[in-house]
Amino acid sequence: MNLYDATIPVFSKFLRNVERWLDKAVAHAEQRKFDPQVLLDSRLAPDQFPLIKQIQELCDAAKFASAKLAGKTAPSHPDTEKTLDEARARLRTCLAYLETFSRDDFVGAEDRTCSHLWMQGKSLRGGDYLDHYALPNFHFHLTTAYAILRHNGVPLGKTDFIGKLPFVKS
Amino acid sequence: MNLYDATIPVFSKFLRNVERWLDKAVAHAEQRKFDPQVLLDSRLAPDQFPLIKQIQELCDAAKFASAKLAGKTAPSHPDTEKTLDEARARLRTCLAYLETFSRDDFVGAEDRTCSHLWMQGKSLRGGDYLDHYALPNFHFHLTTAYAILRHNGVPLGKTDFIGKLPFVKS
């Protein structure tokens, strides 16, 4: 086992799924004749992040999880996006960053010490960081992005969420 | 690495988090003087599952992921729950089942062939099953349950979602 398998291909697949959700969101907005920007600015509760920020957060979740497990310093991707084209560009920037990682980068990642500034000096073993924080956090923002679109009537289903599965070749 | 660490303690922790979300949901309903059953029957879209079904689904996601990776047959837990007490009982039934697993059950789990009936004869390598389906599916229903409560005004935050982290002891 190498934690590359649990991170880079998984994050990349789901980021591409989000691009397809945005395609469906735009098609839905065109059909219903409203500006798709409305969806980017929508949120499920007044004190929860809107869709554009959920996309920024899920990109950062993927970026930081990968960088910290691989012992690298993540590049800064400021949250300046406001439009749909900018949201797509942010997803592609993150995808391009994920492509810079190799399986070798993750050798021993399960025992690498991982920390964020908000942990105030505390840290987690790499395996625990992935299982208890990084993956739940990534999927939290991913699912919330999906839920905002579903709540606003975009025709998405579970297969749009899960995407393609790497079945065993028979 | 042993996939026990990525499943049993993670699922158990989040199921206990859900119990605490329900405590806060009941307190919120009492304060606002509405029946907490309303929350269990709430959904984010008319064609998406309500909270009670999200809880059943996240329990089943944890149960099936654990059983299939360990090469065991999962017990049947029929989706008969309707009330808050029944939802809590379902969470505890799942937690008790998760406690029956040992680390030894997961030796070699990453290479065990995992399949569901809906895969129509196809299957996934255990590691891929966990990374691409079982964990995303568990977190999907977990986050949707959280989002239904947030959308309905229950005062929950990200720390309620993530719960306690197993920091390295200094």
A chain contacts of residue B110, beta-carbon cutoff 8 Å: 1
- Confirm or reject contact between B49 and chain A (CB < 8 A): no
- Confirm or reject contact between B13 and chain A (CB < 8 A): yes
CB contact under 8 A, B132 and A48: no
Selected residues 105-144 of chain A with any CB under 8 Å from a CB in chain B? 110, 113, 119, 122-125, 127-128, 130-133, 135-137, 139-140, 142-144
Task: Say if strands A124-125 and B113-114 run parallel, antiparallel, or are unpaired.
Answer: unpaired
- Confirm or reject contact between A69 and chain B (CB < 8 A): no
- Confirm or reject contact between A5 and chain B (CB < 8 A): yes
Identify residue B56 by its one-letter amino acid code: Q
Of B14, B137, B147, the CB nearest to A144: B147
Residue written as token pair 């158990």: B12
Cα–Cα distance measured from residue B101 to residue B27, given in angstroms and rounded to the nearest whole number? 34
Instruction: Evaluate if pTM is beyond 0.95.
Output: yes
CB contact under 8 A, B139 and A143: yes
The pLDDT assigned to B170 comes to 73
Cα–Cα distance measured from residue B143 to residue B138, given in angstroms and rounded to the nearest whole number? 9
The predicted-structure confidence for B150-165, as pLDDT tens digits, reads as follows: 999 999 999 999 999 9
CB contact under 8 A, A128 and B161: no
Instruction: Name residues whose C-beta falls within 8 Å of residue B125's C-beta, 6 or more positions apart in sequence.
Output: A166, A168, B110, B111, B112, B113, B114
Share of chain B above pLDDT 70, in %: 100
Q: What is the signed CA dihedral for B94, B96, B97, B99, rounded to 10 degrees?
A: 130
The predicted-structure confidence for B79-95, as pLDDT tens digits, reads as follows: 999 999 999 999 999 99
The two three-digit tokens of residue B58, written as one number: 């996240």
The two three-digit tokens of residue B13, written as one number: 């922790």
CB contact under 8 A, B167 and A122: yes
Q: What is the mean pLDDT of each run of 10 residues along chain A (170 residues)?
A: 97 98 98 98 98 98 98 97 98 98 98 96 98 98 98 97 94
Single out the residue of A78, A39, A45 nearest to residue A59, CA to CA: A78
Residue ranges of the alpha helices (H) in chain A? 4-32, 37-40, 51-69, 84-98, 126-128, 135-151, 158-162
CB contact under 8 A, B162 and A133: yes
Identify residue B19 by its one-letter amino acid code: E
